[in-house]
Structure 1
């Protein structure tokens, strides 16, 4: 039900997907009890820096992974719960921030009312689909489901900036239509993929039976859904291909695209969306739409009815009675390995943040985000920008001509810190204290219309792609902005009373990571204005690509489990972000008083504390099922390889920990990869 705008706009984020904890000691920040000092840093930096911590912190049953990010997210979700609990019984006026947040959460937590309703909230939609008779009605229904906030079948759609004319907001179409996390799950027949396919079919059949479909028919429906989605998967571009912004930039005159894919009847579809047909349209994967057009023509109406019914069921299951929720979790367990479902309060707190994030965000910021944290971040961003400029000027592989353009882009970066300057107020969105599904559906419809209303309007540069409590950060190439929500500006990333080594190795590297996204294999194709336009000399671009290929090979060699390796091409942008970010943070750190000294704290030199701060950000572990899925679907490398991937290319790391040629992680100086 969620608007897919953000997924398509955010090119680089720190992660796929609080305060000091008990074992952390204020003023110390690096705890020897968390380290295995009997292991050489140069042999196994992961075990050396975090081994005992990982052993003492197994993955909780309600989680699929556990580490620094998850601890902080756990703190934040508890902080959100505290806020939401305080809104109970509020006397705040109708329409106020407190009342709307309170009403949404109250409805979400009213499990008795939700149980009584069963699947009645979607009965009318199921009956509507059952009454379809003609192919033309299928396309109309797809548009209705999307604009009503119910489901997003067959393809992706949003209004966003034209990458080659960034001041213009244009309609954009993307491939879609599948339910499994990646197209490869449909196309592979290894044991792991087949197990997931069978779990998916069981899930589809279960949801159908829960709405009264006989078991035999439900199983037949599941096979129908899988086979249709498999055809859509065969037409989709692979994730690595999708990283190329030129391959996914295909501009058509509206009339020409309509002629190319007539079964979609785009003029009528846009009318059903609630707007008129535009002059032109951007299409991410034209071949996918040609294949989908053929399927619309050749596939029987009854098959489409089954598929659309499934889309309503899967989009709504999490908001219905417990049999639907349990079936969804049972399926997700096969994908992730998660042992037990998170408690309802946690799921509903997260849902409140995901649905009304800028209302809840106002309450979160007032209670948990200190102005001095923002002031310190502004200073850190300025220092990192200065350090990056120094590094660009020192590059021995880049010409003066390209350096000038790179510096212009760096200087044009817009930083956003903590929370929006202008809050979204959700005008027109009705929130009822006794209608959980109704709230979700109305929010989906509201989000769709809010995005649609941007068509032809000036670009709103005040918008945020993440909510304030989010433990993450991102870079947007078309906005040329780096964004750091309040949620991440806490330990182990940032602490106001920590020494510079800790903050530069933590949040400093995060800032550098997001800046580096503007210069990774994808972001580097956008200029200072956010326009998809080459600013490199031919020779410099060739040198850049040669260096990124070396980084790709380094990560390709990392084994995750049995025959599964990291995909160096899929993770390229994030790996460049880590390598550039950590180098940049180190450069900035060396400009500080502590960075210039050799004074030890608790037995560790400033440089050692810097790299240990980086390592503890990435400490943690994942369930095997989650790890296997991550390698296939996530552009981020597993944490253990993020811990070592950048440091092994930095001379300073070797010097800090006396890493020698006989050590397992040692790379010859000439083999250490230097990009930014």
Structure 2
């Protein structure tokens, strides 16, 4: 096939099945085309693939368990707070009550917002509204101080806008999407009893205000830069940015104090805050808050409200159908009691033998990583020593946590017979979560907290805790199975493990030391070399086409560095065990198999910090000399990249 043009990502279109593809031309399509040809995207999803099929199977298993718990067919296990999750599930699946209640559960909150008649009203109510979970045009949160992760501090930022990303407002789809949102919101207001005239006033004001916000808040590309979030500012300087809005009054009401220093995550927003938060903007702000509110709460009301709130989501993702009511009921219980459900899943379905095997593989990957760092040919000894110290300090979280976080003990569910509605319970849970978060301000950082529940098909690295988390749900085929070859497991879970380890040394993780503090531990020359290699990784993916989209190399660079380091370490471990690499690369490609609707591709690429799976599979393989040896890839083959174009960092 000498006519094949050597391209980044392999030849051909990775979104289109090609059963004639060879691994030398397109590894991803060669491995996955038969599977993709048979794969169908369910009507209530916008994507399906290896990750999604595992997630769907986990969900089906847990949905069956929750149905059995609710009916009394199965006894609810004696696991703290699981009975509350089942109680919430019962409320969520009771559509007779939800439909009979209609818009009644939200009336008091709707009137609270509609009753704001002046700028002074809004200022007086703002802190209470924030504590109750209403959206304001700015946000505060409590989290570990990035430069001293033993203590918590206050972070300030802008709001979430209506469209997925600031760049979406500049896309050809923006007008259509905002039009769908407008029609949907007018209908929801009407169903909730708001007059046609008032609804139009709120929506027009909201859309105008949201356009102003979109010019100021950060894009997904900007959010991908962790260190750029850290901009400490004194209370006096912070308050001086607000002339019309009494920020001191707000902080005293919301936090119960005025902190001496805050961390400003969005400097551009803060510099322009006065132009956004003033009396002249009051009616637009009120409309914006009401539009946020009605769209957020509609799905917790009747089936009619659920259906009326679906068109905007449908326009964003292309998903043909709304998820069933029973699926939504499980998802509500799962998201509200996520860690509880995750522990139940882990204890019930995750074996001790699997945990031991995976822990062994993690330790193996860490050893390989340490050896690779020690042999690294572009780092000085001083930086190598620091990197190895960071690696050795890494905390491992596998399966599910030993103890459930205290927030779940505090959440209460009021059943229907005691006057509880689904909406009132979700509001109460949201308010308790906000209270719980704010109370952390004067508490030491809890490093035992897990960022992911055990039933989530994912994994993560937390630079501020220097820990990696592997939930029980990801530890199954095709990522991991005792029935697969060792090589296949290395190409699956091995690469995932090493990917998370590599995040400790990506463009963000590299800024944090072994204790999770943002601190430079590099020599100047080493960091310059790392920055140059990072630029090469950006260029490697920048401008690549995927379906109707073009990739932004900067937005996805941290994940691509982690893929590069992860695949290299996993391949090294596989080779050292004397395993063949064909199975290794085949399973690496297999785990990224996916089929997506066009609208979903557009939305995900605009906001995601990961490259699309098919390109992750191909591009990283193209950068490994061993891939060329394994499949005898030669110049003229679609997967061939010249040696000088193969990006190598870790």
Bin of the TM-score, shorter chain as denominator length: over 0.9
Match of 1:578 among 543, 560, 563: 563
> Could you tell me which residue of structure 1 aligns to residue 147 of structure 2?
164
Q: Distance in 2 between matches of 1:610 and 1:122?
A: 54
Cα distance change of structure 1 residues 93 and 585 upon mapping to structure 2, 3 Å threshold: closer
> Could you tell me which residue of structure 2 aligns to residue 136 of structure 1?
120
Structure-to-structure mapping, 1:639-654, within 5 angstroms: 639-654=613-628
Give the secondary structure class of the aligned counterpart of 2:144: strand
> Could you tell me which residue of structure 1 aligns to residue 523 of structure 2?
537
Offset of residue 316 of structure 1? 0.8
> Could you tell me which residue of structure 1 aligns to residue 581 of structure 2?
607
Alignment pair present for 1:122 and 2:91: no
Instruction: Choose 259-268 or 500-509, whichever is displaced more.
Output: 259-268
CA contact (8 A) 1:83 1:363 kept: no
Instruction: Choose 442-451 or 583-592, whichever is displaced more.
Output: 583-592
Alignment pair present for 1:273 and 2:258: no
Structure-to-structure mapping, 1:398-437, within 5 angstroms: 398-425=379-406, 426-434=408-416, 435-437=421-423
Alignment pair present for 1:619 and 2:593: yes
The answer for unaligned runs of 5 or more in structure 2 is: 1-16
Match of 2:428 among 418, 422, 442: 442
Give the secondary structure class of the aligned counterpart of 1:590: helix
Alignment pair present for 1:63 and 2:45: yes
Q: Distance in 1 between matches of 2:255 and 2:228?
A: 29
What whole-Å deviation, never above 9, does each CA across 1:414-441 have from its counterpart, x for those lacking one? 1101111221252232212322112211
Offset of residue 660 of structure 1? 1.0
CA contact (8 A) 1:202 1:219 kept: no
Alignment pair present for 1:205 and 2:186: yes
> Could you tell me which residue of structure 2 aligns to residue 3 of structure 1?
none
Alignment pair present for 1:360 and 2:374: no
CA contact (8 A) 2:150 2:444 kept: yes
Structure-to-structure mapping, 1:74-473, within 5 angstroms: 74-90=56-72, 97-149=81-133, 151-186=134-169, 188=170, 190-273=171-254, 275-425=256-406, 426-434=408-416, 435-473=421-459
Alignment pair present for 1:479 and 2:469: no
Q: Distance in 1 between matches of 2:151 and 2:363?
A: 30
Instruction: Choose 515-524 or 323-332, whichever is displaced more.
Output: 323-332
Name segments (4+ residues, structure 1) moved above 4 Å.
35-38, 89-96
Give the secondary structure class of the aligned counterpart of 2:233: strand
Offset of residue 153 of structure 1? 2.3
Offset of residue 184 of structure 1? 2.1
Q: Distance in 2 between matches of 1:347 and 1:487?
A: 20
What whole-Å deviation, never above 9, does each CA across 1:315-368 have from its counterpart, x for those lacking one? 211111223211221111111000111222222222211111122223222221
Offset of residue 83 of structure 1? 2.0
Instruction: Choose 433-442 or 616-625, whichever is displaced more.
Output: 433-442
CA contact (8 A) 1:178 1:229 kept: yes
Offset of residue 80 of structure 1? 1.1
Q: Distance in 1 between matches of 2:599 and 2:649?
A: 33
What whole-Å deviation, never above 9, does each CA across 1:278-305 have from its counterpart, x for those lacking one? 2221110133134233322143433332
Give the secondary structure class of the aligned counterpart of 1:282: strand
**CA-atom RMSD in angstroms:** 2.0
Offset of residue 202 of structure 1? 1.9
Q: Distance in 2 between matches of 1:523 and 1:486?
A: 24
Give the secondary structure class of the aligned counterpart of 2:272: helix
Q: Distance in 2 between matches of 1:673 and 1:254?
A: 45
Q: TM (normalized to structure 2)?
A: 0.93
Offset of residue 96 of structure 1? 5.3
CA contact (8 A) 1:236 1:288 kept: yes
Offset of residue 135 of structure 1? 1.7
Offset of residue 653 of structure 1? 0.9
What whole-Å deviation, never above 9, does each CA across 1:179-233 have from its counterpart, x for those lacking one? 22112233x1x43222212222222222222222343543343221111011111
Q: Distance in 2 between matches of 1:195 and 1:309?
A: 21
CA contact (8 A) 1:177 1:229 kept: no
Q: TM (normalized to structure 1)?
A: 0.89
Instruction: Choose 642-651 or 533-542, whichever is displaced more.
Output: 533-542
Q: Distance in 2 between matches of 1:303 and 1:219?
A: 12
Q: Distance in 1 between matches of 2:410 and 2:109?
A: 23
Q: Distance in 2 between matches of 1:369 and 1:432?
A: 32
Give the secondary structure class of the aligned counterpart of 2:277: helix
Cα distance change of structure 1 residues 398 and 627 upon mapping to structure 2, 3 Å threshold: same
Q: Distance in 2 between matches of 1:515 and 1:92?
A: 37
CA contact (8 A) 2:512 2:518 kept: yes
CA contact (8 A) 1:36 1:49 kept: no
> Could you tell me which residue of structure 1 aligns to residue 31 of structure 2?
49
What whole-Å deviation, never above 9, does each CA across 1:624-666 have from its counterpart, x for those lacking one? 1010111211111111101112100001111111111120110
The answer for unaligned runs of 5 or more in structure 1 is: 1-34, 598-605
Q: Distance in 1 between matches of 2:381 and 2:410?
A: 53
> Could you tell me which residue of structure 2 aligns to residue 20 of structure 1?
none
Offset of residue 523 of structure 1? 1.3
What whole-Å deviation, never above 9, does each CA across 1:522-574 have from its counterpart, x for those lacking one? 11111111111111112111111211212211212421134x31111101011
Q: Distance in 1 between matches of 2:270 and 2:301?
A: 32
Give the secondary structure class of the aligned counterpart of 1:462: coil
Q: Distance in 2 between matches of 1:301 and 1:658?
A: 66
CA contact (8 A) 1:353 1:360 kept: yes
Q: Distance in 2 between matches of 1:621 and 1:640?
A: 10
Q: How many residues align?
A: 627
CA contact (8 A) 2:373 2:384 kept: yes
CA contact (8 A) 2:399 2:470 kept: yes
Offset of residue 152 of structure 1? 2.7
CA contact (8 A) 1:153 1:308 kept: yes
Give the secondary structure class of the aligned counterpart of 1:575: helix
Give the secondary structure class of the aligned counterpart of 1:342: coil
Q: Distance in 2 between matches of 1:659 and 1:287?
A: 48
> Could you tell me which residue of structure 1 aligns to residue 554 of structure 2?
569
Q: Distance in 1 between matches of 2:208 and 2:624?
A: 49
